[in-house]
Amino acid sequence: MEKNKLKQIALITGATSGIGEATAKRLANRFSLILCGRREEKLFELSNSLSNLTTVKTLTFDVRNKDDVIDKLKGLEGEWKNIAILINNAGNAHGLDFIHEGDIEDWDMMIDTNVKGLLYVSREVLQTMVKNNSGHIINIGSIAGKEVYPKGNIYCASKFAVDAISQGMRIDLNKHNIKVSQINPGLVETNFSMVRFKDDEERSKAVYKDVNPLVSEDIANVIDYVISSPENVNISDITVLAKSQASSTVINRD
Ligand code: NDP
Ligand code: 8X3
């Protein structure tokens, strides 16, 4: 259901699953939402389930497809262009292999999605934010963008790139009154490991076994906290770990 009056608008990439989906649910009472992902059916389901709380627009695109990203975002009409909050969440790991054994398609997928896709979306949304002299970008980084771990190589590289991009954005957008925040989760039990291990359920479950990991809602709460901070405050970089996780590699499974 489309209501006439829009609230502040938040755009979430990767809203069909995990952290993005939980964030959409968390923000629905206060924001009008633009929900993005590749799986249109999932977007429709989520949009329907939130329609009693807010106005939702869905945009179906693969963030790797530069032309489609630009077309879909340029196609936003009227007030929908005035995105106040951009949550760059779409991303995944593909594979976990030694560097000399890595699959080049997995590497392309991670760099094209986690780095280039984030850039395509951001550049387009920033055209209006800069014009409006306001906005807030939240990039979902990772503990993997702070510490490299064995076989993490290219996924870590993609998240280290996000870390550099967040810092670069913060510097370049400083004069334009735009906040840039980065949130770096540790282990969160989502569909992430199923994607990384190509639907191998056993391997995927083992990642979270005996860890009591974070869940998507934990990160959605932190995103809400970051975007709810007073106008004069920017939470620039925040790492969120499960209690059982001390670092990328030190995890208490007792
Ligand atoms: P999920 O696999 O549950 O969700 C990933 C989301 O990204 C989906 O909505 C998916 O939508 C979207 N996505 C993936 N590829 C593309 C693409 N090419 N174009 C558009 N959308 C895409 O994982 P999480 O919720 O865990 O991951 C969200 C973010 O959090 C990622 O950036 C991830 O790197 C990061 N992260 C995750 C951690 C974890 O342990 N789970 C820890 C640290 C960071 P669709 O398939 O419909 O396109
Ligand atoms: C996801 C967390 O440690 O599996 O970014 O890379 S990790």
Q: Say if 248 falls within a structural domain.
A: no
Is the CB of 74 inside a 6 Å radius of any atom of ligand 1? no
Which ligand 1 atom is the nearest neighbour of the CA of 190? 3
Pocket residue to mutate for ligand 1, from 92, 194, 195, 240, most atoms within 8 A of Cβ:
92
Q: What is the pTM of this model?
A: 0.98
Mean per-residue pLDDT for 108-129?
98
pLDDT for the residue numbered 1: 44
- The tally of domains found in the chain comes to 1
Question: Does 166 sit in the ligand 1 pocket, CB within 6 Å?
Answer: no
Let me know if residue 34 belongs to a domain. yes
Substitution candidate for ligand 1 out of 137, 190, 216 with most atoms within 8 A of CB: 190
Tell me whether residue 251 is in a domain.
no
**β 32-37/188-189 pair status:** unpaired
Most distant CA pair in the chain: distance in Å? 55
Q: Which atom, in ligand 2's list, is nearest to the CA of 156?
A: 6
SS3 state of residue 150: coil
CATH code assigned at 173: 3.40.50.720
Q: Are 244 and 253 in contact (CB under 8 A)?
A: yes
Average pLDDT over all residues of the chain: 97
| Helical pair 18-27 and 216-227, crossing angle rounded to 10 deg | 50
Residue 180 phi/psi, 5-degree rounding, is: -130, 125
> What pLDDT, on the 0 to 100 scale, is given for residue 5?
84
Q: Is the CB of 64 under 6 A from ligand 1?
A: yes
The mean per-residue pLDDT over the stretch 9-21 comes to 98
Q: What's the DSSP call for residue 97? A: -
* Ligand 2 pocket check for 241: Cβ under 6 Å: no
Domain that holds residue 171: 9-240
> Whole-angstrom Cα distance, residue 178 to residue 183?
17
Is 56 part of any domain?
A: yes
Residue 204 lies in a domain: yes
Kindly state the average pLDDT of the residues 169-192. 98
Classify 58 in phi/psi space as left (phi over 0), alpha (psi -120 to 50) or beta: beta
Q: Which residue from 53, 126, 43 is spatially nearest to 34, judged by alpha carbons?
A: 43
Per-residue pLDDT tens for 20-57?
999 999 999 999 999 999 999 999 999 999 999 999 99
Position 229 in a domain: yes
Residue type, 155: Y
Q: 207 lies in a domain?
A: yes
Residue 203 CA, distance from chain mean position: 24
Query: DSSP state, 143?
Result: G
Cα pseudo-dihedral 113, 79, 135, 28, rounded to 10 = -70
Report the percentage of the chain scoring pLDDT > 90. 98
Which tokens sit at 207?
């990642």
Q: Is 4 inside a domain boundary?
A: no
